[in-house]
Structure 1
C-alpha cells in the first residue's frame, strides 16, 4: 500500500468511470489527492462544465463517508500539477489513454533526481453502446452518469399514450413559471429571455403562441414545435408564423394525448441538426409542424437534448414556463415516458 497517490482530471458530472478511477487509487494508496481542473481551464474546454465546488461536492456525495478521511481536493492549473516535484507522492492514477502523460511526468521527475511514480492504470467503465463512459457524452445528453441511455430501447417503436398517473404528474409546471398576461405574452417572454440569456444551448419552443412570441421579439426559436392551435382550439395567428426563419421544416402526425414514432423521429432529427454544442457554426434551426398536438413533446425532447438546452412553453392563463435540460429533467422525463401506456415487451 502506497502512502500517497495523485490523480488529476476535470471530473465533471462524476460518473461510474470516475468512481472506478478513484477506487483504483484508493485500493493501492492509503491517501489520495484529487487534483481537479480549475474553473478557468474547464470553462475554456466546455462552458457546460460545472463549477469546481459543484464537482467536488458531487464526488464527496458519491463516494460516501467511508473514504473522506483518505481523500483531499486541490485545484489543477496545468497538465502536470505537483506530480513532477512532489517528494512525498509514490503513485499516480490514470486510464490507458493518459499513461503517456504520466510517463512524461516520470521523465521530468528523473531529471529532478526524484523517484518515478508507480503508474496505477484503471480500466474504463463502458456505456450502453460499448464505448467508455465520458463526461462529454453526458454533457451532450447522450448517456446518464451510469452510462445508460436516457430513452428506453423500445421508445420510437410504437405510440405512447397518456394515462391518469402520468397526467397527474404533469399538472404541476415542470420548470420556472414566469407570470404574465395572456393578452400580451411578450411581457413574460421578455423576462424569460433575460433569464436564459447566458444559456449556450438551443432554445426550444413548444406551442404556437410561444413560437410566435419569440418571432415577434426578434429571437426565433432554434427548434420550434407547432400544431396550429392554442387551448386545443384553432388559432388564427398561427398563420403568421414565418416558416422561412428556419433552416429545416419537418412535418409529422401526433394525436392528442400521445407520443408517436413520427414525432420521435422529427425530434431526433431536429436535435441532431442543431448539434450537441461541439460545432455551433454548423447548427441548423428546425420547425416541426404537427398534425395533432405538441403538448407532450418536452417528454421526448429533454432526454434527447444536450445539457444546457432550454425548453419554453406556455401555461394558459399563467405565463411562460422555462425548463433547462439537466440531469434531473432527463431523469424525470425518462420515468414518465416509461410510465406511459404502450406496447411494451416484457416491461410491464
Structure 2
C-alpha cells in the first residue's frame, strides 16, 4: 500500500511538517504531490517557485525516510484516481477534496481511499497556522504571533480584567487586553439563562476589530434536586471569525437569605453591604470568599469560567465542530 499526501507547501511551516509526518507514520511508501507553479498561481497569490517548495518538502522528509517520491500536481485529483489501494493524508482544509476524490473513485468502480485527517496546527493565538498568515506577517512559520493579539473584555470590574490577564498569560505571550465599557446588560442580578445571554452580549459588544472578545457574568441557577440556588460564573468568548466558545466556573450553594433578598429586587452586592457593611464585594473577594474565608474567591471562579471557555479551542477537532471556519 502507498500513502498519498498533497498540497502547495508554500512558506513551509509547522502544519506542513505535521501533515508529512503523519504520512510517514503510516509506514507506507509516500507519494507527495506538490502543486505545480501554474496550478498554484491560478488559485493563490505570492507563491514560491515549485523548485523551492519541493526543496522544503525534501529537506523535511529526508530527516525520517527515503521511501518517498515527489510529483507535480496539476489538478485536485493528481494521481489519486490511478492507484488501486492507498491511504490519503489530509488536513481539515483539504478533507472535502478527499471526499470528492472518493466519490469519483467509487463512480469508477474503484475502492475508496482510506482518509487520515490531521488536525490543524494552531498558532500562539489558537488560530490555524497558514501560509497566508505568514505572508501577511501576522505569525512566524512556527506559529508565534508577530502582530499583537488584541483581546477585549466588556466590564467595569477590574477583578475580571485581572483574571483574564492571569489566564491569557499562561497560553499567549504577545497580547494586549482592552477594557470595553460600551455595553449594556439587562440586570444587576441575572437568573438562569439570562446569565448566558448577558455574558454573550458583553462579548459581542467588545468584538469590533479584536482577535477575541470576552464577556463574563455571574448568575443564580436553581437546582431542583436539592431545592437550592447556586451562584455560577459563565464566560462567552467570541473570536474574529465569529466563533463562540463558552464555559462555567464552579457553582456553590447560595444562602437562602441571599436568595430571598434577590427575589425582592436586591442584588448580592446590596445584600452583603447592608448586612456586613462591605461595599462592592463583587469587585473583590466575592460572596464565595466571604463564606469560605477566602479559600474560594470570586477571582478563582472567574478564572475557571474563562479557562473552561477556552478548552474547546485547544483541540477543536475532538469536538467535531467547525470551530475554525
More relative contact order, 1 or 2 (CA 8 Å, 6+ apart):
1
Same fold (TM over 0.5): no
Structure showing greater radius of gyration is 2
Normalising by the smaller structure, the TM-score range is 0.3 to 0.5
After TM superposition, the score normalised by the length of structure 1 is 0.41
